[in-house]
Amino acid sequence: MSAVEEFPEAGAAAAEDPAAPYRPSPASEPLPEAPPPPAPEPSPEPGPPPTPPTEVGASTGPAHHGSGTQVNTFYSPLVADSAFLLDPSGRLKRRSPRLITDDQATALSRQFVAGPGYQEAKRLLGSPGRTAILYADAGCGRRSSALMLLDAMGDGHGRLRELPEGDPGDPDAPPVLDGRDLQPGDRVLVDLTGDDRGLLGEVRAGLESYRHAVRECEAYLVLVIPPEEKNALGQEFARFLVGLGRPDGARVLQRHLQARGIDYSEQEARDGGVLDWAASAGMGEIAELARLAEEVGRRNPGAPLRGRLGTALEALADRGEEAGGRIAGLPDTWRRSVLLAAAMLEGFRAEAVADAARALFALLDAPEPEQPRLERVGFRTLLRELEVAVGEDHTVAFQRFGLAEAVCDRFWDEYPDLVGEFRTWIDGLIAAPSTSGSDRDALARRFVRQCLRTHRTEELFGRVWEWGRRAETAPQAAYALTEAHDRGGAIARRTRRRIYRWAGDRALPAPLAQVLIAVCTGTIADTWPEEAVVRLQHLARHDDPEVRRAAADGLLALAADPARLGHLTHRVRWVLENRGRPRPRDLAVAALLTDPGRLHGPGSERHPLRDPESREDAAAIIGLLIRAGEAAGSEPLDPAADPAAAAERWIDACASEWSPPGLPELLARGAHRAGSAGRLYGLARRRLLTASGDGAEAQRGAAAELIRLLDEVQGLLPAGAPAAGTRTEG
């Protein structure tokens, strides 16, 4: 493993300083301390009595657009029923498990349908060359095919990695293909069809040497390139090229619907004309149709499949012209403010929409109509004119399914010079104490959608920075990052890279650091656990001790998964071994992970020394901690896991009744590899001579056994010989 593995997205030049502190761009405006003040006049439509300040405000109708289960519970007036829970210590956690919590390949397999060329690619990847280069038109599921191919290779224990891990264009970024970073069994994806297609030249230059490293490590490599570039790699790679065809659209639709729990009927799909559409639709469009059909079912639980698919297909059609006509037909700023407020707050209570419309109207500095308020059209009358219905529960919904999103899209497209005002408006709505947590999440989700749709990624990250700095809006920062990462592809990579950059800033605002910890443990770890570990390690070096402990707890939570424990332990060992002088905060993480106190009691089976695949790495970590000794510093994440006391505590562990089999031998080997055998020997010798009181006999026996094993591993004593009474240290 290379020396840049610790900072895979910053390169060797950043090895000592993983990332420069991020500061939002000038275009990223700070979050207002309070929402824009409402107009003093009452709304024409009377609402319920004013809500007491200690209760959740009037916006209690959560809107739900998108996949996943919406959770509506209550915690506090500020973050009630948000998807992320803010606890009293300032930590953020997902309120409930994610809808799909297994790894991404397993989730993808529920929906995946192989197309022409897939089996040939699988044969190539499994051959001695261990490489496949895929090309296909957009919409054929080429990225999904690449992930499924890699998932089918090896024994399932190799890392799943996506390159490049660094920011393209960053002068300090490591090479895209660096064979020194490979570990045995790695499964590597390089997707050059999106943002990274400009890296094709660099990839071509290093591909042959990287392929050699892939074979040496018994790893696997899949490249995905645009079809027009299939000859750009050169003739020597032609034998690895595989063209992928389009999977059967009807089968893809069936798998997507069934994965969402929707009973599939081919006859109903055919009668509604959906199968004809699916025959030429892209894979992403089919996935979106299934999502919309699920949402239609939530609104109308008794609707037959044919009706749900028909409504979803209508919503999937481009309604931009219809939305544009609606906007153009409104003669003044007030009516357009109401239309945009109803679209952005669809699913909220009418009173909240009225307040939002008034706030937007005031923000746009539009002159008040000369007509007295009571002579103007009433608010609900205006909603009816806009074809926006108000339900019995006072929540608003456009009469045509899918039109709300189209209206929002049209406003963002037609008025790019007002996007800053729209952003400030949404900031005010999210920050308002009367907005419930689920409503804040809905607003954040819709804002994320506009940012990604209009390629304003930096604006999105600027909002996350501002929301994340304040505890009351930190849950929405976490929610926005999760929404962006769950989109997959290029935006997910960009999100992980930005989190990496922020995580390296030790002075990052503590609430924002807690946001990153929550997203790493609750989102990124589900699909890219190795990258989650890297970011959590950086956050464990933060200046704030509570952030450090939260990041370490996040690492321990990942270690609770046997599939992730091995990688985490190996990574912690690598960090310590590849620094001339390990940082105290890295040693603190290592001491917490290998703490002997975790060898007994609840969860003891998850200690790395009890895991056959992790125990050698854990022994090496302990040896490195012993070598650091008093130089380990005084920043333990837990008083019981002080790195400076590691040697004494492990000698105690060897004498305990809960000591795992072979512990003294593991410690001796680890100390020998780390160069700390002499120090451990001296401490064991002292224990042999000074042990007294209860347990003294067990301590002397364990110390003698440890001394004998230390002599053995260094070749100073034949295996099985009794320990010498004295020893001369060289």
3-state secondary structure of 469: coil
Q: What are phi and psi of 517, to 5 degrees?
A: -60, -45
- Which range has the worst mean pLDDT, 9-13, 129-133, 363-367? 9-13
Average pLDDT over residues 506-517: 96
What's 114-243's CATH class? alpha beta
DSSP string, 362-386: HHTTPPPPSS-GGGSPPHHHHHHHT
Q: Distance of CA 392 to CAs 12, 349, 474, Å?
A: 61, 10, 33
> Where do the structural domains in the chain lie, given as residue ranges?
114-243, 565-730
Residue with tokens 């056994």: 705
Q: Dig out the tokens for 194 from the structure.
A: 């999106």
Q: Within 10 Å of residue 17's Cβ, how many Cβ atoms?
A: 13
pLDDT at 42 over 60: no
Binned at pLDDT 50, 70 and 90, residue 243 comes out as very high
Q: What is the pLDDT of residue 584?
A: 84
Amino acid identity of residue 430, one-letter, is I
Binned at pLDDT 50, 70 and 90, residue 681 comes out as very high
- Which range has the worst mean pLDDT, 195-204, 210-219, 518-527? 195-204
What pTM does this model have? 0.71
Q: Is 121 within 8 Å of 134 (Cβ atoms)?
A: yes
pLDDT at 596 over 60: yes
Polymer length of the chain: 730
What's the whole-number average pLDDT of the chain?
81
Q: What is the pLDDT of residue 329?
A: 93
Residues near 362 by Cβ (< 8 Å), separated by ≥ 6? 36, 37, 38, 39
* Pairwise pLDDT comparison (189 vs 158), residue with the higher score: 189
What is the CB-side half-sphere exposure of residue 280 using CA atoms within 13 A? 3
Q: What is the pLDDT of residue 57?
A: 31
Q: Within 10 Å of residue 50's Cβ, how many Cβ atoms?
A: 9
Average pLDDT over residues 52-74: 33
Binned at pLDDT 50, 70 and 90, residue 103 comes out as low
Q: Within 10 Å of residue 573's Cβ, how many Cβ atoms?
A: 27
Apex 423 CA angle, 80 and 456, nearest 5: 110
Residue with tokens 């509506």: 72
Reported for 33-37, long-range contacts at CB under 8 A and 24+ positions apart, including other chains, are: 33/431, 34/428, 34/431, 34/432, 35/359, 35/427, 35/428, 35/429, 35/431, 35/432, 36/359, 36/362, 36/363, 36/424, 36/425, 36/428, 37/362
pLDDT tens per residue, range 407-459: 999 999 999 999 999 999 999 999 998 898 899 999 999 999 999 999 999 99
Residues near 359 by Cβ (< 8 Å), separated by ≥ 6? 35, 36, 38, 425, 428, 429
pLDDT at 568 over 50: yes
Q: Is 541 within 8 Å of 583 (Cβ atoms)?
A: yes
Q: Is 350 within 8 Å of 395 (Cβ atoms)?
A: yes
In whole angstroms, give the CA distance from residue 58 to residue 434: 6
Q: What is the pLDDT of residue 1?
A: 35
pLDDT tens per residue, range 311-354: 888 887 777 788 888 999 999 999 999 999 999 999 999 999 99
Nearest to 527 by CA among 96, 55, 162, 56: 162
Q: Dig out the tokens for 252 from the structure.
A: 């893809």
pLDDT at 633 over 70: no
Q: What is the pLDDT of residue 707?
A: 92
- Which range has the worst mean pLDDT, 191-205, 216-230, 276-290, 439-453? 191-205
Beta-bridge mates of residue 92: 86
